[in-house]
Chain A
Amino acid sequence: MAKKLNMRKRYELLTRGLGWEPTYQSKEKVFSNESYEGIKITDWSKWEDPFRLTIDAYWKYQAEKDKKLYAVMDSFAQNNAHLNLADATYVNALKLFIQGVTPLEYQAHRGFARLARQFSGEGAQIACQMQSLDELRHTQTQIHTISHYNKHFNGMHDPFHMHDRVWYLSVPKSYFDDAKSAGPFEFITSVSFAFEYLLTNLLFVPFMSGAAFNGDMATVTFGFSAQSDESRHMTLGLELIKFLLEQHEDNIPIVQGWIDKHFWRAYRVLALVSAMQDYMLPESPMSWKEAWEIYFVENAGALFNDLARYGLRMPKYHEQATAEAEHLSHQVWGTLYNYAHAASMHFWLPDEKKMDWLSEKYPNTFDKYYRPRYEMWAQMAKEGKRFQNGGLPQLCQVCQVPMLFTEVSKDDPMQISYRSSEFNGEKFHTCSDGCKDIFDHEPEKYVHAWLPVHQIFQGNCGGAAIPDILNWYHFKPEDGGDYAGSADETRWKAMHGETTGAASSDTESAEEKAAA
């Protein structure tokens, strides 16, 4: 009887030897993306695959997880479990997720599929192929999980279309476009290491524990189902970095540059998450600042101590990111409030209870800078003059976030931070030293940015008036604005038997929406 092989041996036998020396075309032509970035690989066989899963085992595990997940989703839908949410304002976090994050899962799926084709090492091909499948599955399971909410709340009806067009979604989209339009080694350093290894907890913890704290069991279940994939992806990120650094010393400065760049870009994407975490969750598990301290300052500090022996240091400007943690979520939420009329989700002023929580979590900044702002806006709203920005914001050429960040590191936190560069006779504006460095390193790339505000002024976004633009985004009039007085609020109240000004028709519209 044949001896039973252990997992590792079995994996090696099943994956190695899948490659062959091409004879019709040269190897350089077959794997045309592998060398142009300047990365030197001397021996692919040194690649230690962190997944060690064969495709048959992979299918089995994923199928089991899917079965459980879809069972939870079914019972969630049958029991109308959305009624158990802490509050309907929570659903806005899901809107941000489906619009901003789910399309990134799909982008990751495509990016890893390309890597599976372009890496010549078989171990790396298999690992990228599996991650590509994982990411497609994440896209699908997120759509299925959130589709239940789409029956009862606005703003979740066309996330992929929105992702390609909407001003605030150009932030996550452009990060991934940047990585995907780079070479395969930069892409995997960006997504697997800078994003998934360094920062993923800052994305998933607020959404998943936010879901748990606010009664959203469907999203919690999705989170668990993705967690085992995510831990494989994180391991891949770390193994990859070590592999590149061990292969050739010339790789070190290239990889360090990518870590600096993609850390900063991914961090800027997380600005949106910080606002969600501190303001959208009725019950907040932890503040952005606390999460940053645990998941970045402590964890990354330990990690880079380990990586120092390979010649790597902490990503450039990490101190700025840490200093900004005191301000970030408040500045972003304020900007979203300014432009609530142009969003496909709702924003609002924090109530007293939330402001007290924010004071406690941000003792150095909230009462001094941000509480007064909300008091001013609350006063204006009371007088019927709800503050909104009637213009369009200046955007950063690199991260595409409205230029809202301030000179926190220069001890001037109420002064907007402006940086600029010149290229080809034109001025380019950036929000920070981090973004300016990225621009100056590859200006030819970033002049291609599709900046939503400039595109509107060029006449490429459905018209000049806000309603025309929103229509081009596929937003419906009831999708944005303040939560108070929204169709979502009316429906939520009707679901709980509370009457509002137009109660009878509200019940009707809830049923209509559910039937749609």
Chain B
Amino acid sequence: MIDPFDSIAGYVQLHVLVPLLWHLDLMRWEDLAYGWALFAVYGAAQVALMFALCVPLERLFPVERWPDQRVVLTDIFYTVVQRVGVLPLVTFVGFYEVQARLNGFLTDHGYVPPTLERFLPFLMGWPVATFLLYAIILDFADYWRHRISHRIGWWWALHSLHHAQRQMTFWSDDRNHVLDDLIGALWFGAIALLIGVSPMQFPLLVLFLRLLESLSHANARIDFGPVLGRVLVSPRFHRAHHGVGAYGARSCNFGAVFPWWDMLFGTADFSRDYVPTGDPSGDEALASGSYLAQQMAGLRRLLGRGKQPAAVQ
């Protein structure tokens, strides 16, 4: 059985991308284009699905009500750019030769990135289990990336863009500074050198995980309860991370999918109720500026020109 998303991606590849690449003398990227078509089709499905799920939830159980929601438009832009893979694509092409050289260098020095199956041979032939194990390990790595980004001044200057939104909705998951996204890509690239990359043939599982991350930003009174809430990150849990009093180093609940790492390393706070969000220590442009204004404000803060974070210890 072929799922319909695959068929759409194949159609887009054959009838739009391949002819376009041929005309632009870019046929060397043909294989990449197909990967991107799959990514974009599943990304569009993610957006459609989270829209269908989160809009009713935000209507039924809102935490906050805003008369004017124009600032949410910027978050929608972030989401679309990210989920249909514009930034990942540009990053991949831009760094392709650097990556190829690094691969060649490592091969020359006898280093071949392993896979989890090499450490744990019983995983061989069990790709779904392997995928889930990668998801857990990568979520753990992301916990530390996120936690450190709150502690280091210049990194927080970039990440504070994510926290600046006072009208936090399910669209807010992807609002990040491009340099912060780039650091994230390098972080996971480095981990890939150590444990390889996850099996990639389960876009539906990726879709589910991404859906959960969007939901965790939703403007909705949703708590997963004492049991499930300790298994998966709920909107209530992540809202505490975005609380006005919780910016910078003072924050809690850094986990993206699993709250386990916060529980394990003492940064979990299940008690904070539905708090207002935002980062009062930053420039107003970070919160309500246009896409470009936000990116520039983040850059200014990074270079020490904007309002400086008072929170970093």
Q: Do A and B interact with each other, yes or no? A: no
Instruction: Give chain A's interface residues, CB within 8 Å of chain B.
Output: none
